[in-house]
Amino acid sequence: MSLVRVTNFAISLDGYGAGEPQSLEAPFGHAGMKLHEWRFATWQPGAPNGLDALFGRQYDVGFGAEIMGANKFGPPGWQDDPDWRGWWGEDPPFHTPTYVLTHRPRAAMEMEGGTTFHFLDASPTDALVVAKEAAGDLDVRIGGGASTVNAYVAADLVDHLHLAVVPIVLGRGTSLWQGLEALEDTFHIEAVTSPSGVTHLSLTRRSPSA
Amino acid sequence: MSLVRVTNFAISLDGYGAGEPQSLEAPFGHAGMKLHEWRFATWQPGAPNGLDALFGRQYDVGFGAEIMGANKFGPPGWQDDPDWRGWWGEDPPFHTPTYVLTHRPRAAMEMEGGTTFHFLDASPTDALVVAKEAAGDLDVRIGGGASTVNAYVAADLVDHLHLAVVPIVLGRGTSLWQGLEALEDTFHIEAVTSPSGVTHLSLTRRSPSA
């Protein structure tokens, strides 16, 4: 069965998925790269093939589509730049149809490596119908940012989340947990800390989503 | 050297140290006992003598005084009840001079087992001077609640914190992390998850406090 999953989504101890303000120069705001260093470390030559790498590899396996929020695709105002093609160059790391939620959609962009960006002015629920159709038997990844993940969880549309809690305190930003009181009733929550200091949370839905 | 320490302070994944609203019937608000079950479990006959128990025992060792906020001592309005003597009966688990921060101080209460409650209308800094004097060579415990721990950390008065992150989402309450941006610059932060699912954070000050 096709699932809706969040994977390798990094948050701070205080639950922020990015800092602020975000800009072309500071895509993660005042958080800088701190939320993502643990994962980049796994990509270095000779990096340990340990727990962080194991969780990291979940990112690439079994997905047939991604949905992301407008704030992940570009800095504030990217909709005004007709030449903006995302942060990732001509071969983005998605390798599937990738749906960008925006109130100002534009024509689809076919990139190298299997990624095609589609722009949807749609609710989370309606966008998921489109993405599931594209993914077929594979899973749909909710790619972020924090407000998009939060919206999908709040709408009860997610089957599994892998969150990486990085031992930093951001103090401000977009909260992943906002409004998700008693999430433990819907999800089994498992925690394991890696030698890097990152605590990996695996949230598994107790019963299938609708 | 006498240190200022927080130990066995439980928070939710979203950083709340208690739920709301707090009352005589619901001392932890809507959180109920969920933040504390892991620790109570270690007190049961035959409980595993494992990581949770090991962290739990830090509570009793090396302290010569405690400071707590008014909200820990009693439900809202306890100051209007001249007979209120705290939640813990006649033999409270502190066994040291214990300083309750309140704008409406009352006469000290000598309890059994070495606990004496003193009531101070004082700033965190001034209360700490009093508590350190009482503790002598031993440490001072900042006992909570979340706003009191937060105030002491924000005032840069704490040397070590042990926090127990319980895998629940409270959604509302008093945030431990509020305003503590970049705490990782001041503290080394170590995380380890216990088989119970609780992640223990040990925050150790990188240089001695003033």
Higher pLDDT residue, A144 or B209? A144
Number of residue pairs across A and B with CB atoms under 8 Å? 87
Crossing angle of helices A124-135/A146-154, nearest 10°? 90
Q: How many CB atoms neighbour CB B145 within 10 A? A: 21
For residues B112-135, average pLDDT: 98
Higher pLDDT, B31 or A122: A122
Q: Would you say residue B209 has pLDDT above 90?
A: no
CB atoms within 10 A of CB A29: 17
* Total residue length of chain A: 210
pLDDT value of residue B210: 54
How many CB atoms neighbour CB B178 within 10 A? 16
Q: How confident is the model at residue A209, as a pLDDT? A: 62
CA distance A14 to B91: 36
Average pLDDT over residues B22-27: 89
pLDDT along chain A (210 residues), means of 10: 95 93 89 93 93 95 97 95 96 97 97 98 98 98 96 97 98 94 97 97 85
Average pLDDT, chain B: 95
Write out the residues of chain A at the interface with chain B, using a CB-CB cutoff of 8 A. Answer: 13-15, 165, 167-172, 175, 177-184, 189-193, 197-199, 201
Share of chain B above pLDDT 90, in %: 89
At B80, is the pLDDT very low, low, confident or very high (cuts 50, 70, 90)? very high
Domains and CATH numbers, chain B: 4-157+169-191 (3.40.430.10)
Minimal Cα–Cα distance from B187 to chain A, Å?
A: 10
Picking from A9, A13, A166 by the largest number of B CB atoms within 10 A of its own CB, the best residue to mutate is A13
Residue B16, beta-bridge partner list: B175
Rounded to whole angstroms, the Cα distance separating A195 from B75 reads 41
pLDDT digit string, tens, across residues B128-178:
999 999 999 999 999 999 999 999 999 999 999 999 999 999 999 999 999
pLDDT given at position B18: 87
Tens of pLDDT, residue by residue over B36-71, are 999 999 999 999 999 999 999 999 899 999 999 999
- For residue A179, CA distances in Å to A175, A190, B183 come to 9, 20, 25
